Every structure is written in C-alpha cells, then in structure tokens.
Amino acid sequence: MAALGWLTPRRRSATARSVLAGEASAEAARKSSQELEELAHEATPETAAEEPDFPVLGDDKAAAFFDLDNTVMQGAALFHFGRGLYKRKFFETRDLYRFAWQQAWFRLAGVEDPEHMQDARDSALSIVKGHRVSELMSIGEEIYDEYMAERIWPGTRALAEAHLDAGQKVWLVTAAPVEIATVIARRLGLTGALGTVAESVDGVYTGKLVGEPLHGPAKAEAVRALAAAEGLDLGRCAAYSDSHNDIPMLSLVGHPYAINPDTKLRKHARTLDWRLRDYRTGRKAAKVGIPAAAGVGAVAGGTAAAIALHRRRR
C-alpha cells in the first residue's frame, strides 16, 4: 500500500519521476481492473429507457476519470484509512492527532497543502512498512464499510454510473494508495483505480514509493499512460475533480468537469467554459453546459441525498 503524498502545487512540466509514478500507477490499475471487470459482468444492468446525449452510448474509445478526495468522497481517503488503522492499533494516539489535524486543515482550507500532505505521506509509509500487501487490502475492505461508505457524494456517484451505463470504463485517479483506491473502486462498481504505488518485495511493503505520489502532473501522466494502453481517445474522455491541482489531468480530456471546486478551479473552469457541479450545499453552483449525464431524476435524487447528508453532519 502506498501512502498519501503530494507535490508542491506550482506550475511545472512532468518530471521523470512523475512519468514513472504515472506509468507504475497505470500498470497497477490495469492489473486490478481485470478482477473488477469480471465481477461486474456477473450482473447485467437493465438498459435505461432513454439514453442521454452524454456520455455517448457504446463509445468504447471514451472513459471517465474521477478524482477521489472531495470529488467522489467527503474528506481524504488516507485520513479515514488512518482512523481504521488506529482502531486496529497500528500506531499510537499522537499519530491519530496528527491525522486529525491534517484532515481538519483539509476541510477548513479546502486545498491540498503540500506540507501537511508530505507529513501524512511520510507517516503512513512508516506505519505500513513491513506489513503485507494482502493484509492492508483486507483491512481496507473493513475500513471502507466503517468510515467511507457513508461519505460518498450521491451526485458524483450518479455521474460515474451514467458512464458505466453507457458502456464506458470509469477509473478513480487519486494520490491515495492504489490498494485503498482499488477497494473503493470495486465497492462502487467502477472499473479500477489509479493511485500512488508503494514499493513491495515478496508482498511486503518496503516503506518506499515507486516514483512519486500520484498528484498534479503525475495524475495526468497516469491518465495518459492508461489511455494509451487501453486505446482510448482522450478527446472523447471525461475527467472530474474538485482541485486546481488536477488542472493538468482535466486539461487532457475533451470533457472536463469541476465538481465541488475550490476557488482556483472554479475560476479556471468558468474562464474555459468547463462544466461545474457542487454537491456540498443546497445552493446549486453556477453550471456551464450541464450534461445530460446522470439523467434529470438521478441528478435531482443525488443532489437531494447529498444535501441531506450535509445537514445531518452540521
């Protein structure tokens, strides 16, 4: 399991380490998606009465890429995973306080602060060093049920399901460990996940990363590598994120969406006429070119559920 980590959010081109991280993540995602695809084929979904104009039904050259933290799920996946590990006595109380502070900063500031995220990455790497990959995957299944399932944004999930219903593959793209991301993708019925890849030898974590955390430019490299391997046309693909740090990934595709956007991404999206949606409050965000993607009923239901979830937690 790789730990969560981030790059300093500054404009720069992808480095060799970004490319390495992206390619490693794409390779891990393709391997994990095979099992998920087999599970998905066990159940045949009913065909909708009316297919939306977007996503395009049966377009096998298109796919959708979803950021995880604050786009698909409230908060940071690594924090929720840390809570679960603390419950299982993987680390001490002082480490939990550090995880809690990092999560509080994430929620209040609404941005991915590199200093806090670097600390989170280093902490998690030290925690999992020496543990088996299979052990963390099994624990991840339990932690999803305990802390993550109820934090999925219904509106964003409806968008992902619209792509699946159209016969397209849907991938999570996150700086979270690829093992955690894969668990979440499987539980949501998605194709697979691109995430930060941690080094392991004989199934045991070494405490090192392959390349760098899947963040910023590395995410774009991962999407580019996966698209090439899958034979996708990025101009027909869609990407969804809440963070300006993901502008490199969003800029790769023909259909970028700002979901629950931070201030910088909202401004950027409006300037470029990207589509926007906000599921965080009852206030509808300014929408530009809203797609038919989740269908009117699905979007309304997803938004209402998201509002109810927000109010219960206030």
Q: How far apart are CA 54 and CA 14, in angstroms?
A: 31
The residue from 53, 60, 67, 95 that is catalytic is 67
Has 233 been annotated as catalytic? no
Please provide the distance, in angstroms rounded to a whole number, between the alpha carbons at the two ends of the chain.
33
Query: Helices 93-109 and 114-128 meet at what angle, rounded to 10?
Result: 150
Dig out the tokens for 115 from the structure. Answer: 């200093």
The residue whose two tokens read 């409806």 is 158
Q: How far apart are CA 70 and CA 119, in angstroms?
A: 19
Among candidates 183, 165, 151, 155, which has minimal Cα distance to 76?
A: 151
Buried/exposed code over 96-123 (b: 16+ C-beta within 10 A; e: otherwise)? bebbeebbebbeeebbbbbebbbbbbeb
Q: How far apart are CA 277 and CA 256, in angstroms?
A: 11
Among candidates 113, 44, 39, which has minimal Cα distance to 262?
A: 113
Q: Respond yes or no on whether the N-terminal peptide bond of residue 55 is cis (omega within 30° of 0).
A: yes
Q: How far apart are CA 205 and CA 291, in angstroms?
A: 42
Has 67 been annotated as catalytic? yes
Do residues 18 and 213 touch, judged by C-beta distance below 8 A? no
The residue from 53, 59, 60, 69 that is catalytic is 69
Active-site positions read: 67, 69
